[in-house]
C-alpha cells in the first residue's frame, strides 16, 4: 500500500521530503530508498526510537524528530502522511497547512481509512468494524483500539469531501481513489 503511494509521487531523487505521523518510519524509509532526503516526525518518542533503529539497520540517513503533524514547519518538495490524518481533529485545516508548507509544484500524499462512497460497501465496512472489537474480546485482546478505529473512520470525511478539502487548500488533485482493501484510500495532490 505504501509502495502504491510512493509510485504516485513522481521522481523522488534528491527531493526534500517530510513524512509526518511517521510512526516507526516505514513510509519515510521507502521515500529515502527512492533517493529523497527525508525528515520523519511523530508525537511519540517511543515510535521515533523504533524508527531510528530501523533507519540504522537500513543504513539510511533519515532524520527523525518530534513534530506535530497538524502544523508542519519548513518548505518541502514532498509531504506524506500515512494513517495519521484521521487522528487529527482539524482535517481541512491540516491539509491547508500541509499545502502551505509545500514548495510550488510540491506533492502531497496521504494514505488512510475512510468510509466508502458506495452505500453497500459502507454498510459492509460498518459491520466489519462492529465485529472487530467483539472478535478482539473473544480472543482475550483489549477491544479499545478497535473501538477507536471504528469511531475514527466514522467521523473522518469521505473521499469526495477530502478531495474538496485538497482543492480548497490549493492542491490540484492528482489521485483521490479507494485502494484494494475496504476503506483504504489514497490521496495525491500537487501544490498549484
Ligand X SMILES: C[S@@+](CC[C@H](N)C(=O)[O-])C[C@H]1O[C@@H](n2cnc3c(N)ncnc32)[C@H](O)[C@@H]1O
Task: Count residues near ligand X (CB under 6 A).
Answer: 19
- Nearest CB to ligand X, comparing residues 102 and 110: 110
Q: Does 43 bind ligand X (CB under 6 A)?
A: yes
Shortest distance, position 27 Cβ to ligand X, whole Å: 4
- Does position 68 bind ligand X by CB under 6 A? yes
- 50 near ligand X, rule: CB under 6 A: no
Stretch that binds ligand X, among 82-90, 140-148, 159-167, 177-185 (CB under 6 A): 82-90
The nearest distance, CB 61 to ligand X, in angstroms, is: 19
Applying CB under 6 A, does 27 fall inside the site for ligand X? Answer: yes
| CB closest to ligand X, residue no | 23
Whose grid coordinates read 473501538? Answer: 147
- Among 88, 110, 114, 188, which residue interacts with ligand X (rule: CB under 6 A)? 88
Positions that interact with ligand X (CB under 6 A): 2, 20-23, 26-27, 42-44, 47, 68-70, 82-84, 87-88
Amino acid at each position: 500500500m505504501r509502495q502504491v503511494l510512493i509510485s504516485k509521487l513522481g521522481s523522488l531523487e534528491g527531493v526534500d521530503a517530510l513524512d509526518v505521523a511517521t510512526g516507526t518510519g516505514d513510509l519515510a524509509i521507502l521515500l529515502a530508498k527512492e533517493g529523497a532526503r527525508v525528515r520523519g516526525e511523530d508525537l511519540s518518542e517511543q515510535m521515533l526510537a523504533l524508527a531510528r533503529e530501523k533507519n540504522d539497520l537500513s543504513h539510511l540517513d533519515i532524520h527523525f524528530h518530534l513534530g506535530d503533524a497538524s502544523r508542519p514547519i519548513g518548505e518541502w518538495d514532498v509531504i506524506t502522511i500515512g494513517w495519521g490524518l484521521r487522528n487529527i481533529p482539524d482535517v481541512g485545516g491540516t491539509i491547508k497547512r500541509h499545502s502551505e508548507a509545500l514548495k510550488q509544484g510540491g506533492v502531497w500524499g496521504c494514505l488512510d481509512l475512510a468510509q466508502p462512497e458506495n452505500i453497500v460497501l459502507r454498510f459492509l465496512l460498518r459491520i466489519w468494524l462492529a465485529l472487530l472489537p467483539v472478535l478482539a474480546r473473544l480472543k482475550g485482546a483489549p477491544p479499545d483500539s478497535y473501538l477507536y478505529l471504528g469511531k475514527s473512520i466514522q467521523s473522518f470525511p469521505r473521499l469526495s469531501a477530502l478531495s474538496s478539502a485538497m482543492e480548497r487548500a490549493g492542491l490540484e488533485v492528482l489521485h483521490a481513489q479507494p485502494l484494494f482493501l475496504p476503506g483504504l484510500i489514497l490521496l495525491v495532490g500537487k501544490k498549484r
